């Protein structure tokens, strides 16, 4: 089944047409220019740019290679293992495209223990299979199929089954204080997103001014059917127009009680804040229960979680968009939750365990087939949220070189953010970077940001039409070298080889 609401961002968030993503005359494949072994002038120029104190005072690994030959034209601490932040997504996405295939899809299915008798079944199992794009509209489509299967009553309620992944919902290497933040949601085999941003395992809390000064703000939820699972505590006050706003939206750990506190000014427009929820599988079962009731199916019992029995009858099924689209949806805005779904799904390749440990092992084994992987490389999640992850600039460059040889390279290349492009569906996390330089609408790369960490790895083409593959990983305690990394990108783009 297709998912029209999963395509709300339009064709720009599909495998992007090269005419939108590339300069005139440029293709995703490296240009067939004579191979370079060295470029002393370029190496000298890059060394000068990287002599900046924001680089020299930190730990920075850099490799720049000619894309067509793989020859390293510049290196600095190439084998130093540094936390890659979201550059880890390059590894996870490439592994998923290689091992699962660009056409891979995820299903979410509804099962009954047996065929309905006079329209009645004892339970309805909502079984997730790791789909990171499931939304309320998809549950409505499932409910339509349930009715079409002749089911009018579910006496024992809906059972949410997130067991495609293990019960370890929050990675042990993530900061425990991040549990409230949308970028650190719980990862379950059955989950739900509130919008086309696909922040898995979250809801959106909305607030706007109350009816008058001194009144409480008006609060809401997206999806609205989350009400009853999520409890909102309103500790807000509406203040005079123009007085500004200071709002805190915080979920109490291990609960689904979200407290909204602070002040909001009159005449302020509605604001949405994305917050994680606890137990995504139960949450999805709750929303599905309410969807079924709205569709006219009698579901008297409250939703629960559990395992789908082996003896069962399928009554409905939903299929996600293909992996090729999902990779773009996660790479452009740097979506952590979607990437963690890929990591745990990869864990089920061979070992059949949907765990972070199994996923990391599969990814490492795959990475070792692309190059020699040093023992200093550490993989503990898929998105790079954990500081414990460690990669080197050389490992990333060799990965990017390998990607160029694969049939899915155009999908991978076009999924990368494009420097200086004002359209977020193309520019992604690079929309506001390298604007007005030769790198704008040229450099395709993945950004990475954690506290004390910045990274940038990808591809850029110079004025002669020669493409470079590069990786820059930086650890710092003072000023970030990010601006210097942008200067390197612009320097490569403006170079004449």
Residues 401 and 410: beta-carbon distance below 8 Å: no
CB 72 within 8 A of CB 400: no
Q: CB–CB of 119/150 below 8 Å? A: yes
Task: Give me 47's structure tokens.
Answer: 């060394």
Q: Is 333 left (phi over 0), alpha (psi -120 to 50) or beta?
A: alpha
Phi, psi of 75 (to 5 degrees): -145, 145
Q: How far is CA 260 from CA 115, 275, 397, in A?
A: 45, 11, 45
Handedness of CA 217, 222, 223, 227 (dihedral sign): negative
Q: How many angstroms separate the CA atoms of 389 and 377, rounded?
A: 8
Active site residue 86: yes
CA atoms of 237 and 401, how far apart (whole Å) = 55
Tokens, residue 195 = 């919008």
The catalytic residue among 334, 383, 457, 471 is 334
Q: How far apart are CA 392 and CA 371, in angstroms?
A: 12
Please give the Cα distance from 22 to 183 (Å, whole number): 30
Render 253-274 in DSSP notation, one character per residue.
TTS-EEEEEEEEETTPPPEEEE
Name the 3-class secondary structure at 346. Answer: helix
Please tell me which residue in 83, 86, 182, 320 is annotated as part of the active site. 86
Largest CA distance in the chain: 81
Cα 321 from Cα 346, distance rounded (Å): 18
For residue 354, count CB atoms less than 10 angstroms from its CB and return exposed for 0-12, middle for 13-18, buried for 19 or more: buried
Whether the Cβ atoms of residue 260 and residue 251 lie closer than 8 Å to each other: no
Residue 207 belongs to what H/E stretch?
Answer: strand 202-208
Backbone angles phi, psi at 405, to 5 degrees: -90, -5
Q: Which of 3, 67, 68, 89 is catalytic?
A: 89
Name the helix (H) or strand (E) containing 472.
Answer: strand 467-475
Tokens of 277: 């929820």
Please answer whether residues 363 and 356 qualify as being in contact, where contact means their C-beta atoms are separated by less than 8 angstroms. Answer: no
The residues, ordered by sequence, that sit 6+ positions from 23 with a Cβ below 8 Å of its Cβ are 441, 442, 461
Contact (CB, 8 A) for 323 and 15:
no
User: Does residue 89 carry a catalytic annotation?
Assistant: yes
Q: How many CB atoms lie within 10 A of CB 11?
A: 11
Q: Are 3 and 320 in contact (CB under 8 A)?
A: yes
The whole-angstrom separation of Cα 381 and Cα 453 is: 16
Catalytic residues: 86, 89, 334
């Amino acid at each position: 089944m297709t998912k029209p609401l999963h395509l709300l961002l339009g064709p720009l968030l599909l495998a992007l047409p090269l005419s939108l993503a590339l300069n005139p005359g440029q293709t995703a494949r490296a240009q067939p220019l004579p191979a370079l072994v060295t470029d002393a002038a370029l190496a000298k120029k890059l060394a000068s740019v990287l002599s900046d104190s924001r680089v020299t005072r930190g730990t920075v690994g850099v490799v720049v290679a000619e894309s067509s030959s793989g020859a390293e034209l510049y290196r600095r601490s190439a084998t130093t293992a540094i936390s890659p932040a979201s550059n880890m997504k390059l590894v996870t996405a490439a592994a998923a495209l290689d091992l699962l295939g660009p056409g891979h899809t995820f299903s979410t299915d509804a099962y009954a223990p047996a065929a309905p008798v006079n329209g009645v079944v004892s339970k309805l199992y909502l079984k997730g299979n790791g789909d990171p794009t499931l939304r309320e509209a998809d549950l409505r489509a499932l409910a339509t199929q349930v009715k079409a299967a002749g089911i009018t009553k579910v006496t024992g309620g809906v059972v949410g089954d997130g067991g495609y992944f293990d019960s370890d919902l929050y990675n042990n290497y993530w900061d425990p204080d991040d549990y409230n933040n949308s970028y650190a949601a719980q990862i379950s085999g059955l989950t739900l997103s509130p919008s086309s941003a696909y922040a898995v395992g979250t809801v959106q809390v909305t607030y706007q001014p109350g009816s008058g000064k001194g009144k409480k703000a008006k609060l809401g939820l997206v999806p609205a059917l989350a009400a009853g699972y999520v409890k909102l505590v309103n500790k807000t006050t509406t203040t005079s127009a123009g007085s500004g706003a200071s709002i805190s939206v915080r979920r109490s750990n291990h609960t689904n009680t979200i407290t909204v506190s602070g002040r909001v000014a009159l005449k302020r427009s509605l604001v949405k804040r994305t917050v994680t929820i606890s137990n995504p599988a139960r949450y999805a079962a709750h929303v599905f229960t309410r969807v079924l009731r709205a569709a006219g199916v009698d579901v008297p019992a409250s939703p629960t979680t559990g395992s789908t029995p082996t003896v069962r009858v399928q009554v409905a099924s939903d299929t996600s968009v293909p992996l090729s689209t999902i990779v773009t949806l996660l790479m452009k805005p740097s979506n952590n939750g979607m990437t963690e779904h890929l990591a745990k799904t990869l864990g089920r390749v061979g070992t059949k365990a949907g765990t972070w440990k199994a996923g990391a092992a599969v990814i490492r084994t795959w990475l070792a087939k692309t190059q020699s992987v040093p023992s200093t490389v550490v993989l503990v999640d898929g998105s790079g949220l954990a500081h414990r992850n460690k990669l080197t600039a050389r490992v990333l460059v060799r990965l990017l070189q390998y990607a160029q040889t694969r049939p899915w390279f155009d999908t991978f290349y076009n999924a990368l953010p494009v420097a200086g492009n004002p359209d977020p569906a193309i520019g992604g996390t690079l929309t506001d970077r390298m604007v007005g330089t030769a790198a704008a609408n040229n450099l395709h790369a993945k950004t990475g940001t954690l506290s004390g960490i910045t990274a940038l790895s990808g591809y850029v083409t110079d004025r002669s039409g020669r493409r470079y593959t590069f990786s820059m990983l930086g650890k710092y305690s003072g000023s970030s070298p990010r601006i210097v990394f942008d200067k390197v990108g612009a320097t490569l783009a403006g170079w004449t080889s």
